[in-house]
Amino acid sequence: MLHALCSMPGLCWDEWAVNSHHRVLEKMRSVRKELEAYGLTPRKRWGQHFLVDRNILGKVLRAAEVGPQDVVLEVGPGLGEMTLALAHEAGKVTAVEIDRKMIEVLRQKVSGCPNVEIIQSDILKLDFHRLFGREKGPVKVVANLPYQISTPVLFRFIDSRQIFSSLTLMVQREVAERLIASPGSKEYGPLSIVVQVLADVLICFHVKPSAFYPSPKVDSSVIQITWKEKALIAPRDEGWLREVVRGALGYRRKTLMNALKHSSLVLPPDLEGRLAEIRIDPRRRPETLTPDEFIRLASVLKS
């Protein structure tokens, strides 16, 4: 891509970068004026950061691979830039926004798009089964998630994964790195384990704060989550696995044996012998266990 840009007559990489930067600044001023015209200001309470780089918007849509056969859920549409772009590609778009004032703006902007539904609701309380129960196929999620609720929203999508075929999400870079973290790293935790047991995660690309208005204090990442054809654990055992993971990782600096003893889990009297049976050294730190080892641990504790 770099070679193609630099080979264009009269256009070198530096000029393209400068032009791109000017477009972003122009779009940022446009968003600021639009908010002022509607009497709105970005709400810190809801983590409102509006994407102003259309190049990034295009990359998100390409990563999501949205087509006319798709039903799409968008979370936190804001001023509707991505909503309108999705409306041109998808068969149906359901956009969920919590800000009542923003809802009025959104409904005006998508009034010419009959395939867009705007819903005023808290995504953490929304009943996905009721909302999408009549759809004939799975739903794709494409969203710039509010940073302060990204983890609980992810767990909600995981719990309702039979409804969703894929998740293409903008999250904090820190959250993206936690999702793919390896055992023993400081980023490795409950979110890493639960997601890796059930899904495959791809970090598509990173996004600088300057792509948003107002600019957040951290980098962002666009990730794509797709479910494994065969999960590593049965659905009926997922809740128990999460309890075991939380119990063990609640005491990361202790050995696994001591962490389990300090947790609220009910332990068998022959715990050390059971750990030996599944080939897990009780002297290891809990954060060094792989997702597969946590599954084996949960199994012996349950039995």
Q: Return d(Cα 106, Cα 36) in angstroms, integer.
A: 15
Segment 148-185, tens digit of pLDDT: 999 999 999 999 999 999 999 999 999 999 999 999 99
Assign 92 a pLDDT band (cuts: 50, 70, 90): very high
Distance from C-alpha of 303 to C-alpha of 300, rounded to nearest angstrom? 5
Pairing of strands 199-207, 139-144: unpaired
189-216: per-residue pLDDT in tens?
A: 999 999 999 999 999 999 999 999 889 9
Q: In what order do the strands lie in the sheet with 116-120?
A: 116-120, 92-97, 71-75, 139-144, 164-172, 220-227, 199-207
pTM of the entire predicted model: 0.86
Within 8 A by CB and 6+ apart from 218, the residues are 147, 172, 173, 174, 209
Q: How confident is the model at residue 250 (pLDDT cuts 50, 70, 90)?
A: very high
Strands (E), the chain: 50-51, 71-75, 92-97, 116-120, 139-144, 164-172, 199-207, 212-213, 220-227
Beta strands 212-213 and 50-51 are: antiparallel
pLDDT (average), residues 267-290: 95
DSSP letter assigned to residue 221: E
Backbone angles phi, psi at 75, to 5 degrees: -110, 130
Measured between alpha carbons, how far is 128 from 146 in angstroms, rounded to an integer?
18
pLDDT digits (tens, 9 = 90+) for 5-29: 333 344 453 443 444 555 655 666 6
Domains of the chain: 41-227 (3.40.50.150), 235-302 (1.10.8.100)
Q: Chain centroid to CA 157: how far?
A: 9
